[in-house]
Amino acid sequence: MSNNSNTIAAILAGAAVGAAIGILLAPDKGSNTRAKIKESLGDTANNLKDSLEASSEVLREKFASATENLDGTFDELLSNVSHKTEEVISFLESKLADLKTQNAKYQK
């Protein structure tokens, strides 16, 4: 994810620098050149904003998905622990019954 963001930022920065150099070297009036630079910077800012919003949305979706997975895993763990607890109680009850039977034999 970070690699994609870095790549997008590098591409946008390269495009802005290239556009600025091209505008500065083109034979045009200073006011036109400044207007073109301002427009280019505005476009770059908008592209960067769009890129950040898209990355932010992807992160939100991944976080929501991870939270859902964690909730499901936690619920499953609780269910397993509850099931195991019932198994342990049943085992202990059967052992207690066996001990009572043995004790009854010794009492006779």
Could you report the per-residue pLDDT of 62-74, keeping only the tens digit for each? 888 888 888 888 8
**What tokens were used for 82?**
């509850």
d(CA 9, CA 3): 10
Give residue-wise pLDDT tens across range 19-49. Answer: 777 777 777 777 777 787 788 888 888 888 8
0.85 surpassed by pTM: no
Q: What is the greatest pairwise CA distance in the chain?
A: 118
pLDDT of residue 11: 84
d(CA 18, CA 21): 5
pLDDT of residue 70: 84
pLDDT of residue 2: 65
